[in-house]
A and B are shown apart, each in its own frame.
Chain A
């Protein structure tokens, strides 16, 4: 069975600090996809990144960076120089290998609430 664990329930940082959100996943599939979503207070999930299991390159997008380590089944997310607008709940999610004709659902972690204060 698939499982995503986000051990950090809540993190509080002061603006401009760097913060890393941890994500550990479990799957028996060899091909899978990993995602990060942001959920601001408005409730709408905002897509941040998708990674497939064969691409272990780290990625940087502005102040956001992602560290995918297959050996430890982790897909951590770092925000550099955090800002108040980064305050939200962040979800890590896993999608299993797609079989032709069947659905591939997203399995979400329980989320990490990030609070950035001035």
Chain B
């Protein structure tokens, strides 16, 4: 079975631009979570979606938004990019709401903002 997939693998943007990152969960998983991992740090929780509804939001500005589609895939959107948004963005899927069931992570999208 395929694991969590994310696209693109790498992305370079300039300040002020907008970016969309995509994630496909493991087949049968209904929950998708997004994390930001700045170099040298642990991942920081951004959003969780379950059954296409937002179920949790971390301490990130409104420039960050996400959605989940009927097939449970998800998009993370970041507007008005700042240099500090440069990071590895990780998507994780789980059967149910995260915490009770283990989250399986994708390979991440490395975003560089110049």
Contacts and interface: CB of A to CB of B under 8 A. Distances in A.
Interface of A: 4, 33, 35, 37, 42-47, 50, 91, 93, 95-98, 101-111
Centre residue among A91, A102, A104 by max chain B CB count within 10 A: A104
B103 interface: yes
Contacts of A110: 40-42
A45 B43 contact: yes
A91 B42 contact: yes
A104 B97 contact: yes
A97 to B, nearest CB: 8
B58 A44 contact: no
Nearest to A42: B107
Interface string B18-55: 00000000000000010100001111110010100001
Contacts, number: 76
A45 B90 contact: yes
A38 B92 CA distance: 14
A3 B92 CA distance: 20
Interface of B: 33, 35, 40-45, 48, 50, 55-56, 58, 88, 90, 92, 97-100, 102-108, 110
Nearest to B44: A108
A106 B45 contact: yes
Contacts of B97: 98, 102-104
Contacts of B108: 43-44
A42 B108 CA distance: 9
A105 B107 contact: no
Nearest to A96: B99
Q: Nearest 4 pairs between A and B by C-beta?
A: A103-B56, A104-B99, A108-B42, A95-B99
A44 to B, nearest CB: 5
Given A43-B88, A105-B45, A33 B105 contact: no
